[in-house]
Amino acid sequence: MSKLHGGFQVRQHKPWKLWVGLLVLVACLALAFFAGRTYQSYELERVLLERETLLSRIAELESRNHKLLQKNAHLEGGSKIEREAYQQANQELVKLQQELLEQKEELVFYRRIVSPSDRALGVNLQSFEVRRKNSQNQYSFKLILTKSGKSTKKVSGDTTVLIRGESDGKVSELKLTDLTLDNADKGTKFAFRYFQVFEGDIVLPEGFEPFEVKIGVIPTTKKVEAFTETISWAEVLSEGV
């Protein structure tokens, strides 16, 4: 009576499954990358379209104002309705010009994100703005960091913001995180692929007269250089309502 053989079993190896899995993973990563770039391109196109609309509206108002000025020059004093029409058109023109300026700034910002330069991977200080909130030395701040270089790698690190000023005839430095009204640790560390915005409110001590801001960026990402930039207080201050 013969016995069944209980030796080794032969199993077929299928390497194509591994390759298919790798291809799916690469495809997912590529899809995520292009989805991010597509969104940024959409934002750039939106800003360009809004800018063209504003330019067209401004040209229309400038033409209207020019005609009103010519008409007023021929009419002694002019009617009340014409004067009001001119004043309303002029106010709208000023408002649209301000919106156009903001659109230009936004356009430059998105262009730097969508079309990064050929420079090495790095962090840029896009802007730092302080706006007065009330008469009790309370301000709001806005800090924007962007990335340079074509790599999609995320950059991370920490920031330090020092406000230098005089108090009782002596020069002193105050940390922004010590002046914030809430979430003191929130505005120091960064981690982003394209840009990051830090916002908050601060209160300066009574009698403290600021004259400059010193901003330090200390990346923890390899091959990304740290830097420090000093800006005058008058340059970063934007008077708010």
Of the two residues 174 and 119, the one the predictor is more confident about is: 174
pLDDT band at 10 (very low <50, low <70, confident <90, very high): very low
17 within domain boundaries: no
Q: How many residues does the chain have?
A: 241
Residue carrying the six token digits 């156009």: 100
pLDDT band at 202 (very low <50, low <70, confident <90, very high): very high
Question: Residue 2: is its pLDDT beyond 50?
Answer: no
pLDDT band at 240 (very low <50, low <70, confident <90, very high): very low
Question: Would you state the torsion angle of the CA atoms of residues 86, 92, 97, 101, taken in this order, to the nearest 10 degrees?
Answer: 170
Is the CB of residue 203 less than 8 Å from the CB of residue 138?
yes
Q: Residue 178 belongs to a domain with what CATH number?
A: 2.60.40.150
Smallest CA-to-CA distance from 143 within 155, 125, 117, 170 is with 125
Q: What would the two tokens of residue 180 be?
A: 């914030």
Q: Are residues 135 and 194 in the same domain?
A: yes
Is the CB of residue 192 less than 8 Å from the CB of residue 155?
yes
100 within domain boundaries: yes
3 within domain boundaries: no
What percent of the chain stands above pLDDT 90? 27
pLDDT band at 63 (very low <50, low <70, confident <90, very high): confident
pLDDT band at 89 (very low <50, low <70, confident <90, very high): confident
For 195, half-sphere exposure in the C-beta direction (CA atoms, 13 angstrom radius) is: 19
- Looking at the 3D structure of the chain, how many domains does it have? 2
Task: Give the Cα separation of 45 and 50 in Å (integer).
Answer: 9
Is the CB of residue 51 less than 8 Å from the CB of residue 110?
no
Q: Are residues 203 and 233 in the same domain?
A: yes
Q: Are residues 78 and 128 in the same domain?
A: no
Of the two residues 35 and 181, the one the predictor is more confident about is: 181
- Could you list the beta-strand ranges (E) of the chain: 122-132, 138-148, 155-167, 170-175, 189-192, 195-203, 209-219, 227-232, 237-238
What's the confidence (pLDDT) of residue 173? 94
How far CA 157 is from CA of 216, 219, 222, 241, in Å, comes to 11, 4, 10, 34
Range of the domain at 56: 22-114
Q: What average pLDDT does range 62-72 have in this prediction?
A: 68
Residue 49: strand, helix, or coil: helix
Of the two residues 232 and 17, the one the predictor is more confident about is: 232
Question: Residue 105: is its pLDDT beyond 60?
Answer: yes
Residue where a domain stops, chosen among 71, 86, 114? 114
Least confident among 26-30, 71-75, 153-157, 161-165: 71-75
Q: What average pLDDT does range 77-98 have in this prediction?
A: 70
42 within domain boundaries: yes
